[in-house]
Amino acid sequence: MQTPPTPGAVTITLADAIHLAQVNASQFRTAATDASVAHEDKVQARAAILPNLSYTTGAIVTQGNRTDTGVYVAANAPNEYLSQGVLQETLSLTQIADYRRARALEAVAKAKREIALRGLVTTVVKDYYGIIVAHGKFQNAQAAAAEAQRFLLLSRQLENGGEVAHSDVIKAQLQANDRELAVQDAQLAEESAKLELAVLIFPNFNANFEVVDDLEQPPALPEFPQVQELAGKSNPEITAANQAMQASEHEVSSAVGGHLPSVTFDYWYGIDATRYAVHTDGINNLGYQWAATLNLPIFDWGATQSKVKTAQLQRDLARVQLNEAQRTALANLRIFYHEAQTSRAQLELLKQSMDLAAESLRLTTLRYQGGESTALEVVDAQNALRSARDNYFDGAARYRTAIAQLQTLTGNF
């Protein structure tokens, strides 16, 4: 099935195609960006519960009135200078719950990124082997066309010898015409398959590439208990649903926190003096001040309780979605494994059918030369061989795709 590469063409392996798709496929890049944004949201939520440190410096100048304070009552002196470091900390259940929720949502986004990646791999595998299959069918169509031409030549020779009727030549000509049309269709299908993968993996339009044909080297399929164990450990869909459930629990805690007190603590250290100096006339201007505030919510017209109710409704929905995801994962694992198992078992039968069809065509052609079979039997044998070869290509690609589909639940094995 392998042909010499086109001059100047880039050779792409399956691993290369997957890597390029990760870089250039917008759907996966969207999921990756969402995961990065979720990480930054977690960083910001964590910063909200940690002490903040800042520095301020400035001067307050008040119009004098021959007193120590100046015209404005609130002024401490006609000239007041500030240079202070400020440490502030606010503690509340809402802030802590918001951080935990952001952490859970980051895990959800990472799981969805993994889901997108595994889905992308499945698409790449399907398109990649779609090219190989399309190329194989193109070569098969060419071989069938050549065989049809040989049969046409043979029927003409036999007609000239008076051994067969002209109707056999007509039948052979129709078969040759059909096979020529099939070559053109197969060539178009191969070009279309290449374009589908090109759009997925290249940042700029490029159809001048070749893929490495390893269709005859199918990967092994582990036993079901091993697959089941892998799925239990690394199924990103279950992880995403579970973390979404955790996030909804923290959302409830955050809403409940609106009913509870919060504490704010401020600490200042620096100068607040009539001169911009550490010492003034022997007096130390450098010092500290702190303040603590307790905020106790009393009445808000039911807004906080409404937030609690909303969060509880979302939590209940997340619990149902988690249960459904678990059931779906178990069902899909069996379906995907049986698909891979069945397609693998069919490969040997398809290979045997292809070999038998080739032998049948050889024997039928010999019988036709000996006057023991009809032109229709030869045509049927040719069609059977072409169909058997196409079926084998489809079966090999089906197994590859089934393995990739199964690995969306288990990861690589």
Q: Considering only CA atoms, which of 103, 117, 178, 121 is closest in space to residue 147? A: 178
Query: If you count DSSP H runs as helices and E runs as strands, how many of each does the chain have, helices first?
Result: 8, 8
| Distance from C-alpha of 387 to C-alpha of 393, rounded to nearest angstrom | 10
Give the H/E segment covering residue 397.
Answer: helix 375-410
pLDDT in single tens digits along all 413 residues of the chain: 445 556 667 899 999 999 999 999 988 999 999 999 999 999 999 999 999 999 999 988 888 888 778 887 777 888 888 899 999 999 999 999 999 999 999 999 999 999 999 999 999 999 999 999 999 999 999 999 999 999 899 999 988 988 888 998 999 999 899 999 999 999 999 999 999 999 999 998 888 899 999 988 888 999 999 999 999 888 999 999 999 999 999 999 999 999 999 999 999 999 998 888 888 888 899 999 999 999 999 999 999 999 999 999 999 999 999 999 999 999 999 999 999 999 999 998 999 999 999 999 999 999 988 888 888 898 899 999 999 999 999 999 999 999 999 999 999 88
CB 304 within 8 A of CB 261: no
Domain ranges of the chain: 12-50+92-260+297-410
Question: Residue 66 CB: number of other CB atoms within 10 A?
Answer: 6
Identify the CATH assignment for 12-50+92-260+297-410 out of 3.20.20.120, 1.10.490.10, 2.30.40.10, 1.20.1600.10: 1.20.1600.10
Q: In a 3-state reduction of DSSP, which class is residue 173?
A: helix
pLDDT tens by residue, 359-379: 999 999 999 888 888 888 988
| CA max distance for the chain | 138
Q: In a 3-state reduction of DSSP, which class is residue 74?
A: coil
Close Cβ partners of 232 (under 8 Å, ≥ 6 residues apart)? none
Burial class (CB in 10 A: 0-12, 13-18, 19+), 50: exposed
| pLDDT of 65 | 83
| pLDDT of 264 | 95
| Distance from C-alpha of 264 to C-alpha of 88, rounded to nearest angstrom | 7
| pLDDT of 72 | 78
Mean pLDDT rounded to a whole number for the chain: 92
Torsion of CA 358, 363, 369, 373, to 10 degrees: -100
| Distance from C-alpha of 284 to C-alpha of 281, rounded to nearest angstrom | 9
| Distance from C-alpha of 76 to C-alpha of 62, rounded to nearest angstrom | 9
pLDDT tens by residue, 214-269: 988 888 999 999 999 999 888 999 999 999 999 999 999 999 999 999 999 999 99
CB 258 within 8 A of CB 297: yes
> In angstroms, what CA-CA distances link 157 with 152, 153, 165, 362, 394?
9, 6, 11, 18, 37
CA atoms within 13 A on the CB side of 327: 6
| Distance from C-alpha of 202 to C-alpha of 235, rounded to nearest angstrom | 29
The owner of tokens 């690609």 is 397
| pLDDT of 77 | 83
